[in-house]
Amino acid sequence: MNLTPFDALTEALRVLGESPLGVEDLRVAGRERLIESSRLAGELRRIADSYTAMAAGEIARRSAPELGGAGLVQSQGSRTVEEFLKTTTGASGRDAATAVRVGRLTQIDDDIVGSRVAAGSVSVQAAEAIRAGLSGAAADPGLLAEATGLLCDEALSLDPDRLLKRAREVRDELDEAGIADREALLRSRRSIRRIDLRDGMRRIIWDYDPETAGVVDDVYDRATSPRRGGPRFVDSEMSARASELERDERTIEQIASDAFTELLRQAGGLDPAVLVGKGVPAVKVLVSAESLSNGTGHGVIEGTNEVLSIAAMERLACANGTRTVLVDSVGQVLDLGREQRLYSANQRLALAARDGGCLWPGCDRPPAWTEAHHIDHWARDGGRTDLDRGVLLCRHHHLKLHNEHWSIRLRAGRYWLEPPPGSVKPGAMLETRSRAVRELLGRGARRSASQARAAGAVAGGPAKAH
C-alpha cells in the first residue's frame, strides 16, 4: 500500500495512539528491546522533524512578505512563520526557527543539504549544523559544494554537535583568509550586561569570544572541577583542596560565583593556591614556528576547535612568550621521558599539545579535565614515564579503562584501543593528534588546492587517524 506522506503521518499517529508505550512497558523491557525502543523513537522523530521542516519551507514560501495579508500565516493571524509554527506545533522558538531555515533549503532545487533532508538521509539538526558551520565561508562554489556533500556523508556517523565542529573546521580550511574577519566579528560581540532583578538580586550576562574563553573557562574549570568530575590530584595540596570542595555544601554555581567574586576583589594580589589552584590563567594556543616566522597560516586554541588568526598568535606570543614542542613526521611529540612515576608538568604540556584532550572515541573533554594514563602498567609491565607510553584520558574513561580492563597499545606510531579480553566489541584506532598538530604537520604532504581544502578537513571520522 502506497500512502502519501500526509496519509502516512495520519496512520502512524492512529497506530501509536491505539498502542501507547507506558513507563511500565519500558521498565520490564530487556536491554536490547530498551535500546531498540530508543533508536526507533529517535528515527520517528527524525522523520517527523524532516517533514515539519519541509512543511515549514512551503509555508514560508506561501507567506512571503510581498503577499501581505494574503500570505498563509498572515491570514491566520500570525506575524511570522516561526510564530505560526510555535502556535500550531508547540515547538520552541529555537526549534521553529531551525525548521524554517532548513525548510527554506528544501525549497531550493540544487541545494545539497536541502535535498538530503528531503530524501531523509540527513536530519534537520544535522542540516542546521552544516549550514551554521559553513556559514560565511568565502570559497570557490565547487569546493564548497564538494565539502558540503562530504559533510552530509559525515552526518551519518556524527551527532549534530560534533558535526558542527567538523563543519567549522572545513570552513576554516576553505577560507583561511577569513579567519581574522570571523575572529574580529566574534570579538566585537563581547559584552557584559547587568540586570537588576526585582527581588534585589543582580544578574550578569557575559558573552565572550573564544580567546577570552581561554582565560575565563580555565578559571571556571579550576574552581569547580573537583565537584564536576574533574581529574584526581596527586599533589597533596591540590588533593586536600579537592576534598574540601567535594564536601562543600555550596552548589557548583555558588562556588563559581564566589570564586569570580574573590578574583575581582583581590585582583592581582590573589594567592593562587587558595582559590583556583596554581598558575596564572592564560590562553594556551598552538601554532607552527614557520607560521610565526613568516606571518602566514593560523593557530588553534589548545583542546578546542577554535582557530585564531596569525595576527592574534603574534600578539599572544609577544605578550606571553612561546614554548617549543617538537613533533615527528607522524605527530608524536618527541620523547621527554623521565624515570619517574608521574608525568611532569612539561610532559603534561606535551601530551596536551599532542592529544588535544581525552582520546576516548567520542569524548570531548579538554586537556584540563584529563589525567595522564600509562599504557604500560607501571609496576606490572615495568612501564616507563615516556611521552609515547602515555595518553590523556578524562577521569570517567580512565576509570572505565582500568575497571573494565580495556587496554591501549602502540603500534607503528599509532595508538589502538582494545576491548576487554573475551569481548566481541571491535578495537579502534585513536586519533592521537590534536587539530592543531594535524594542521602544523600539513596533514601529510599538501595535495592540490581542491583536494586539500575541500576534502582534507573532512576525510576520516573522529576516531580515525589521518
What would the DSSP string read from start to end of 335-390?
A: P--BSSSS--HHHHHHHHHHH-S--STT----GGGEEEEESS-TTTS---B-GGGE
Could you give the 3-state DSSP secondary structure of residue 168?
A: helix
Could you give the 3-state DSSP secondary structure of residue 417?
A: strand
Q: What is the pLDDT of residue 334?
A: 57
Q: What is the pLDDT of residue 458?
A: 46
What is the C-alpha separation between 362 and 311, in angstroms, rounded? 32
Mean pLDDT for the stretch of residues 156-182 = 90
- Per the CB < 8 A criterion, the answer to whether 37 and 21 are in contact is yes
Which pLDDT band, with edges at 50, 70 and 90, does 107 fall under?
Answer: very high
In this predicted model, which residue has the larger pLDDT, 76 or 235?
76
Mean pLDDT for the stretch of residues 302-319 = 73
What is the C-alpha separation between 72 and 80, in angstroms, rounded? 10
Q: What is the pLDDT of residue 150?
A: 94
Q: What is the pLDDT of residue 379?
A: 45
What is the C-alpha separation between 371 and 343, in angstroms, rounded? 10
What would the pLDDT profile of 412-438 be if each residue is shown by its tens digit?
A: 878 889 888 887 777 787 876 565 566
Mean pLDDT for the stretch of residues 298-320 = 74
- Residue 149, pLDDT > 90, answer yes
What is the C-alpha separation between 221 and 218, in angstroms, rounded? 5
Which pLDDT band, with edges at 50, 70 and 90, does 449 fall under?
Answer: very low
Mean pLDDT for the stretch of residues 51-57 = 94
The model's pTM is: 0.69
Q: What is the pLDDT of residue 229?
A: 59
What is the C-alpha separation between 213 and 181, in angstroms, rounded? 18
What would the pLDDT profile of 256-277 be if each residue is shown by its tens digit?
A: 898 888 887 776 554 544 444 4
- Residue 281, pLDDT > 70, answer no
Q: What is the pLDDT of residue 85?
A: 94
Which pLDDT band, with edges at 50, 70 and 90, does 94 fall under?
Answer: very high
C-alpha distances out from residue 266 to 224, 270, 275, Å = 19, 5, 11
Sign of the CA dihedral 332, 335, 339, 344? negative
Which pLDDT band, with edges at 50, 70 and 90, does 330 fall under?
Answer: low
Q: What is the pLDDT of residue 338?
A: 40
Q: Which of 56-60, 153-157, 311-315, 453-457 is the least confident region?
A: 453-457
What would the pLDDT profile of 364-384 be if each residue is shown by its tens digit?
A: 788 877 888 888 764 445 556
Q: What is the pLDDT of residue 259?
A: 86
Identity (one letter) of the amino acid at 315? R
Highest mean pLDDT among 113-117, 384-388, 436-440: 113-117
Q: What is the residue-averaged pLDDT of the chain?
A: 79
Which pLDDT band, with edges at 50, 70 and 90, does 146 fall under?
Answer: very high
